[in-house]
Amino acid sequence: MRRQFKDTALRIAKNDEKLVFLFGDISVFLFNEFRELYPDRLLNVGICENTLISMAAGLSATGFYPVVHTIAPFVTERSYEQVKLDICYNRFGCTIVTCGGSFDYAWDGATHHCYTDLELMRMLPGMEVMQPGSKNEFDILFSECYKNGNPSYIRIAADEHGFNFPVALGKGVIIKETPGAKVTIVTAGPLLGNVVDATNDLPVNVLYYHTLKPFDTSLINRYSKSNIIVVHDAYGLFEAVNAACAVKVTYHGLPDAFCCFYGTLNDIRSKIDLDASGIRKKIISALT
CB nearer other proteins, residue 52 or residue 254:
52
* 59 belongs to the binding site for other proteins (CB under 8 A): yes
* 149 belongs to the binding site for other proteins (CB under 8 A): no
- Among positions 16, 33, 58, 109, the unique one binding other proteins when judged by CB under 8 A: 58
* 12 belongs to the binding site for other proteins (CB under 8 A): no
* 53 belongs to the binding site for other proteins (CB under 8 A): yes
Strands 65-71 and 19-23: what pairing? parallel
* 73 belongs to the binding site for other proteins (CB under 8 A): no
Sheet holding 65-71, edge to edge: 42-44, 19-23, 65-71, 94-99, 151-155, 128-130, 211-213
- Assess contact for 100 and 157: CB atoms under 8 A: no
- Distance, CA of 191 to CA of 124 (rounded, Å): 24
- Assess contact for 95 and 149: CB atoms under 8 A: no
Size of the site for other proteins (CB under 8 A): 29
- Assess contact for 276 and 253: CB atoms under 8 A: no
Q: Enter the DSSP assignment of 163.
A: -
Nearest distance from C-beta of residue 112 to other proteins, angstroms? 21
- Assess contact for 75 and 37: CB atoms under 8 A: no
- Among positions 28, 30, 50, 244, the unique one binding other proteins when judged by CB under 8 A: 50
- Among positions 41, 135, 210, 280, the unique one binding other proteins when judged by CB under 8 A: 41
Nearest distance from C-beta of residue 194 to other proteins, angstroms? 40
Nearest distance from C-beta of residue 41 to other proteins, angstroms? 8
- Assess contact for 274 and 253: CB atoms under 8 A: yes
- Among positions 10, 28, 30, 43, the unique one binding other proteins when judged by CB under 8 A: 43
* 61 belongs to the binding site for other proteins (CB under 8 A): yes
* 56 belongs to the binding site for other proteins (CB under 8 A): yes
For residue 99, the surrounding DSSP H or E stretch is: strand 94-99
The contact set with other proteins (CB under 8 A) reads 20, 40-41, 43, 45-46, 48, 50-51, 53-64, 66, 81-82, 85-86, 89-91
